[in-house]
C-alpha cells in the first residue's frame, strides 16, 4: 500500500497496482488505458506478455487472452486479471486508479493549456506577418508552415489546377503525392468546407493509402465560393481531442486571415484603380490641350498616338485616320507597307474584339483591305486584339485605332476618350476648307448628275475603244482622275486597256484579277501620291475589273460609292453588250 501512495500520479503506479494484486491473490494481470484516438495502450503486465503494445479496441486484447476476467475502471482504464479479484482488493485498486485518472486529467489539461498558449503565441506571430507586403500565395504558404509548427505535424499545400489539386509547397515531409484528383466529395464547398479526418473519410485516396500516418486531416481554403487551396496535415500518431481543438481553431483563424487578406487585396486594387484613373484623367486633360492646339491633321494624330500610348500602355498601337471627308483611312505614319482602309459601312461598330471570330469577321466586312492589313501585321509578329473607332458628332468615321494587349479594365475610359477625341477631330474638319468645299449636299447631287451623264454618253459609244476614250476623258474632267484601266478576259486570255499601263499598276491589277475578289481594293502609289481603286463588275457570268487612279478627295469617294452600289455593273453591261 505504501508504494501505491508513493507512486501516485506517475506511470509507475500501474506496476504497483499489479504488484499489489499479485501479493494479495498470487496472480498477475494487465492494465490498459484508452487514448484520445480510441485505441488501448498497455501500461503494464504481470504474469503475461502481450503480443503488442497498442490495441485498436478492448475486444482485440480479450480475443488474445479470453480466459482473463475484465474489470473496467472508469471510462478509460481496463484491468484484466487471470483470477477473480476479491471485493476489498478491487475497491482499493479502483480508488487508486481513480486518483491516478485525476492526475492524468490534470496533466492533460496542463498539456492542452500549454498547446493553446503555444498556438496563441503562434497565431500572434501569424497576425503580425499578414501586415507584410507579400503576395497572396506566399501568405498561404506561410500559414501552411505555421499550422505545421503549431500542430507538431507535417503540412502540405495544394493549389487547385485543371485536373486536380497540384502540389505547391510541403513542410516537414519530403515526398508527398504530387496531385490529388478531383472527386464529387473534395471539389465543392458544399461537401468539403471544414477540416475532415481523412482516416475516416477517404476524400483523397492518394493520401489514405499511405498507412504510415495515424493522424491525417484535410483542410479546405475557400475563396469566392471555390476551394482554391487544400492543406493536408498529418503525423505518425493519431490526433487527440486537444489537437483537434487546436486544428479547428487554427482553421477558423486562417479562414479569417484569408478573408482579411482578400479585403486588403480588394482595397489595394481599388486604391490602385483610383490612382490610375487620376493619372489617366490628368494625362488626358494635358493631352487634349495639346491635341486642340495643333494646326495640322498629322500633328493631331501624332499627339493622339502619344496620348493613347501613355494612357493604356498597349504593346502595339496603330492609328488610321482620314485626310479628307472621303471614306479612306490612312495609316500613321505611312510606310508603304500597311494598306489604306476603306470604310464600307459608316454605321459600323464602335469596338471590335479581334480575338473573337464573329467580331473579327465583322471588321473585315466593314473595312476594305482590313484582312490584308492584319495579314501584314501577323507577318511582323503583331496580333491586334482590339479595333476602336473615333467618330464625328454626326457619326462619320474619322479614325480607327488598332491595339495589341489592351487592358480590359479600361474599356469604359476608352469610350469616353474616343468620344472626346472624335469631337476634336470633327472640329478640325469643320474649320477646314475641306468641309466647306467638298462635303456639301450640292457636291453630292452634282456627282449623281455627272454619273448619270456618263451613263448616257456611254450608251452612245461604239466599240470598246470608243467607250474607253469617252470614259477616261469624262472621269478626268469631272472627278480629276489620273487614270482609267479596264481588265477582262477574252478567250481565256486577260486583256488590259490601255496596253502601255505603268508596270506597277499593271502588276496590282493582275494580282486582284487572279484573286477574283469581290471587294473594293485600294493600293497607295507612293511614286505619284495617288490611289488605285480596283472594283470588280460582272454581267451574265462575264467579269470585268475597273481601275481608277486618283488622289484622296471627297469627290472620288462619292464616285466609288455610286460604282459600288451598282453603277459599275451597268457600265459592264454596256461594255459586254
Cα angle, residue 331 at apex, residues 326 and 337 outer, rounded to 5°: 120
Min mean pLDDT across 24-33, 76-85, 550-559 is at 550-559
Candidates 397, 448, 390, 395; CA nearest to 419 is 390
Q: pLDDT at position 376, please?
A: 92
Angstrom distances, CA of residue 556 to CA of 1, 212, 248, 419: 123, 86, 79, 28
Cα angle, residue 248 at apex, residues 244 and 250 outer, rounded to 5°: 115
Min mean pLDDT across 136-145, 370-379, 448-457 is at 448-457
Per DSSP, the residues of 500-545 read: T--HHHHHHHHHHHHHT--S-EEEEETTTTEEEEEEEEEETTEEEE
- pLDDT higher for 531 or 402? 402
Query: What is the grid cell recorded at 434?
Result: 475641306
- pLDDT higher for 7 or 390? 390
- pLDDT higher for 376 or 128? 376
Q: What is the pLDDT of residues 219-271, one digit of tens each?
A: 998 888 899 999 999 988 888 777 787 788 778 877 777 777 778 778 878 87
Query: What is the grid cell recorded at 533?
Result: 481603286
With 60 as the cut, is the pLDDT of residue 441 above it? no
Task: Report the C-alpha gap between 420 and 403 in whole angstroms.
Answer: 19
% the chain with pLDDT above 70: 85
Q: What is the arithmetic mean of pLDDT over 100-107?
A: 72
With 90 as the cut, is the pLDDT of residue 388 above it? yes
With contact defined as beta carbons under 8 Å apart, do 222 and 193 qualify? yes
Candidates 232, 28, 221; CA nearest to 16 is 28
Task: Report the C-alpha gap between 58 and 68 in whole angstroms.
Answer: 12
Q: pLDDT at position 211, please?
A: 64
Supply the mean pLDDT for the chain. 80
Q: Is the peptide bond before 16 cis (omega within 30 degrees of 0)?
A: no
Which of 23-37, 274-288, 430-444 is predicted most confidently? 23-37
Candidates 542, 537, 536; CA nearest to 521 is 536
Min mean pLDDT across 137-151, 274-288, 534-548 is at 274-288
- Using the 8-state DSSP alphabet, how is residue 272 labeled? H
Instruction: Name residue 89's beta-bridge partners.
Output: none
Q: pLDDT at position 346, please?
A: 72
Q: What is the arithmetic mean of pLDDT over 73-83?
A: 82
With 60 as the cut, is the pLDDT of residue 433 above it? no
Q: pLDDT at position 118, please?
A: 62
Q: N- to C-terminal Cα distance for the chain? A: 135
Q: What is the arithmetic mean of pLDDT over 129-141?
A: 73
Q: pLDDT at position 509, please?
A: 86
401: left (phi over 0), alpha (psi -120 to 50) or beta: beta
With 80 as the cut, is the pLDDT of residue 100 above it? no
% the chain with pLDDT above 90: 14
With 50 as the cut, is the pLDDT of residue 437 above it? no
- pLDDT higher for 37 or 168? 168
Instruction: Name residue 320's beta-bridge partners.
Output: 331, 400
Q: What is the pLDDT of residues 175-190, one digit of tens each?
A: 899 999 999 899 998 8
Q: What is the pLDDT of residues 223-236, one digit of tens each?
A: 888 999 999 999 88
- pLDDT higher for 439 or 67? 67
Task: Report the C-alpha gap between 181 and 253 in whole angstroms.
Answer: 27
Task: Report the C-alpha gap between 368 and 346 in whole angstroms.
Answer: 12
Cα 257–chain centre separation = 25
Candidates 311, 269, 265; CA nearest to 286 is 311
Task: Report the C-alpha gap between 537 and 545 in whole angstroms.
Answer: 6
Q: What is the pLDDT of residues 17-68, one digit of tens each?
A: 778 777 777 777 888 888 877 788 888 888 888 888 888 888 888 888 888 8
Amino acid at each position: 500500500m505504501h508504494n501505491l501512495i508513493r507512486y501516485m500520479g506517475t506511470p509507475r503506479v500501474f506496476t504497483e497496482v499489479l504488484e499489489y494484486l499479485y501479493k494479495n491473490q498470487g496472480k498477475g494481470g494487465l492494465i490498459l488505458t484508452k487514448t484520445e484516438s480510441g485505441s488501448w495502450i498497455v501500461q503494464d503486465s504481470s504474469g503475461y506478455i502481450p503480443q503488442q503494445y497498442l490495441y485498436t479496441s478492448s475486444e482485440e486484447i480479450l480475443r488474445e487472452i479470453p480466459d482473463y476476467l475484465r474489470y473496467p475502471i472508469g471510462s478509460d482504464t481496463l484491468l484484466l486479471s487471470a483470477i477473480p479479484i476479491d471485493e476489498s482488493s478491487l475497491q482499493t485498486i479502483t480508488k487508486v486508479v481513480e486518483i491516478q485518472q485525476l492526475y492524468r486529467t490534470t496533466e492533460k489539461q496542463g498539456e492542452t493549456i500549454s498547446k493553446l498558449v503555444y498556438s496563441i503565441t503562434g497565431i500572434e506571430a501569424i497576425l503580425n506577418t499578414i501586415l507584410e507586403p507579400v503576395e497572396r500565395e506566399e501568405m498561404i504558404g506561410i500559414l501552411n508552415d505555421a499550422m505545421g509548427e503549431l500542430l507538431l505535424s507535417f503540412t502540405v499545400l495544394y493549389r487547385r489546377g485543371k485536373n486536380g489539386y497540384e502540389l505547391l509547397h510541403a513542410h516537414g515531409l519530403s515526398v508527398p503525392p504530387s496531385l490529388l484528383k478531383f472527386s464529387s466529395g473534395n471539389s465543392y464547398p458544399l461537401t468539403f468546407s471544414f477540416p475532415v479526418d481523412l482516416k475516416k473519410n477517404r476524400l483523397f485516396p492518394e493520401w489514405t493509402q499511405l498507412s504510415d500516418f495515424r493522424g491525417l486531416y484535410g483542410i479546405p481554403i475557400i475563396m469566392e465560393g471555390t476551394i482554391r487551396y487544400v492543406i493536408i496535415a498529418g503525423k505518425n500518431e493519431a490526433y487527440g481531442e486537444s489537437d483537434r481543438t487546436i486544428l479547428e481553431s487554427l482553421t477558423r483563424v486562417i479562414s479569417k486571415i484569408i478573408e482579411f487578406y482578400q479585403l486588403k487585396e480588394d482595397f489595394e486594387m481599388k486604391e490602385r484603380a483610383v490612382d490610375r484613373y487620376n493619372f489617366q484623367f490628368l494625362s488626358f486633360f494635358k493631352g487634349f490641350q495639346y491635341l486642340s492646339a495643333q494646326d495640322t491633321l498629322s500633328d493631331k494624330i501624332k499627339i493622339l498616338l502619344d496620348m493613347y500610348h501613355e494612357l493604356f500602355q498597349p504593346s502595339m498601337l496603330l492609328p488610321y485616320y482620314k485626310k479628307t471627308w472621303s471614306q479612306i483611312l490612312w495609316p500613321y505614319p505611312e510606310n508603304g507597307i500597311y494598306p489604306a482602309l476603306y470604310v464600307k459601312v459608316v454605321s459600323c461598330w464602335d469596338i471590335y474584339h479581334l480575338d473573337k471570330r464573329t467580331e473579327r469577321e465583322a471588321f473585315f466586312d466593314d473595312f476594305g483591305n482590313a484582312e490584308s492589313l492584319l495579314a501584314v501585321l501577323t507577318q511582323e509578329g503583331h496580333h491586334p486584339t482590339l479595333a476602336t473607332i473615333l467618330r464625328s458628332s454626326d457619326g462619320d468615321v474619322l479614325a480607327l485605332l488598332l491595339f495589341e494587349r489592351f487592358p480590359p479594365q479600361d474599356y469604359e475610359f476608352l469610350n469616353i476618350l474616343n468620344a472626346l477625341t472624335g469631337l476634336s477631330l470633327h472640329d478640325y474638319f469643320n474649320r477646314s476648307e475641306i468641309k466647306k468645299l467638298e462635303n456639301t449636299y450640292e457636291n453630292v447631287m452634282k456627282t449623281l448628275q455627272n454619273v448619270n451623264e456618263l451613263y448616257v454618253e456611254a450608251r452612245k459609244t461604239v466599240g470598246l475603244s470608243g467607250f474607253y476614250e469617252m470614259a477616261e476623258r469624262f472621269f478626268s474632267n469631272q472627278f480629276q482622275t489620273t487614270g482609267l484601266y479596264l481588265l477582262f478576259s477574252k478567250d481565256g486570255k486577260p486583256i488590259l486597256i490601255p496596253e502601255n499601263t505603268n508596270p506597277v499598276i499593271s502588276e496590282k491589277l493582275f494580282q486582284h484579277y487572279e484573286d477574283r475578289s469581290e471587294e473594293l481594293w485600294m493600293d497607295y502609289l507612293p511614286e505619284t501620291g495617288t490611289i488605285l481603286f480596283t472594283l470588280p463588275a460582272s454581267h451574265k457570268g462575264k467579269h470585268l475589273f475597273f481601275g481608277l487612279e486618283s488622289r484622296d478627295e471627297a469627290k472620288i469617294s462619292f464616285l466609288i460609292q455610286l460604282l459600288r452600289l451598282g453603277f459599275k455593273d451597268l457600265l459592264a453591261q454596256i461594255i459586254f453588250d
